[in-house]
Amino acid sequence: MTSGNAVDLQFIAPQILQIKMQDRVSKNTFSEAITQGLMDAFAEAECLPDCKVVILTGYDNYFASGGTQEQLLNLSDGRGAFTDRALYSLPLHCPVPVISAMQGHGIGGGFVLGMFADLIVLGRENIYTTNFMRYGFTPGMGATFILPHKLGLGLATEMMLTANTYRGEELQQRGIPFPVVPRDQVMARALELAQTLAEKPRVSLVALKDHLSAPLRQALPATIAQEVAMHTVTFTQPEVKSKIATLFGT
């Protein structure tokens, strides 16, 4: 188990492993510390025979905040792609069920990361947004695949095209199929769900998750390839680089 790092990994109850993103310097953007920390944490979780369920969460008012400004500027210059490290799909490929306890804001790729979990709990007061198009580039990280699947085509299309921000309470009113509770109750609800899962045999949990997620794992690569192709067109616009430079963090 690791602690005191950008990503903290520890059992918070028998057979329930918490992965906590807590990079206060970057406010849980996908810094190198967060990216490597998440990859290491999920790799370790996979090797822990006592782990039946993972709760993925953030700190204070931040769940995850997406790409850093430097990363986005690099992409606009044609340096690298979001596929260089498949951070976004870690919850999907984790062998045991993953619960996203989104106790804080989920922004851009950070919101998408949360949507790749098996079960999701949102905070009523928090902001959730797929803000890619705010900067003028098309969504990535599997957003165009997982958001319609989890939220429904209508709402997902609206979120991606408009890049608007939504409070958890508004998403609840729009009929999303996840619990939305006061943000100070998100972890308690997630832990309640996790304890229900932990009552089941690990072998059965792993077998059922593998079965349920197989269609998603098989279909995702084609969408990722399409998103990368769109990025080669949309990221290179001068307007996009300008927006990233001037609007990031506002």
> Domain for residue 197, yes or no?
no
Share of residues in the chain with pLDDT > 70 (%):
97
> Domain for residue 41, yes or no?
yes
pLDDT at 105: 96
Positions annotated as catalytic residues are 231
For position 30, which CATH number holds? 3.90.226.10
Q: Smallest Cα–Cα separation from 84: which of 138, 140, 33?
A: 140
Residue-wise pLDDT tens digits, 16-52: 999 999 999 999 999 999 999 999 999 999 999 999 9
Domain count of the chain? 1
> Domain for residue 37, yes or no?
yes
224 pLDDT band, cuts 50/70/90, is very high
Residues in the chain: 250
1 pLDDT band, cuts 50/70/90, is low
Rounded to whole angstroms, the Cα distance separating 113 from 89 reads 7
| 17 neighbors 54 (Cβ within 8 angstroms) | yes
Cα distances (angstroms) measured from residue 40 to each of 5, 9, 87, 109, 202: 12, 10, 11, 19, 21
> Domain for residue 196, yes or no?
no
250 pLDDT band, cuts 50/70/90, is low
- Count CA atoms within 13 Å of residue 9 on its CB side: 18
pLDDT at 213: 97
Domain membership of residue 36 as a residue range: 7-183
235 pLDDT band, cuts 50/70/90, is confident
Residue-wise pLDDT tens digits, 59-69: 999 999 988 88
215 pLDDT band, cuts 50/70/90, is very high
> Domain for residue 245, yes or no?
no
**Predicted model pTM:** 0.94
Q: What is the mean pLDDT of residues 184-196?
A: 98
> Domain for residue 58, yes or no?
yes
Rounded to whole angstroms, the Cα distance separating 240 from 237 reads 5
| 94 neighbors 45 (Cβ within 8 angstroms) | yes
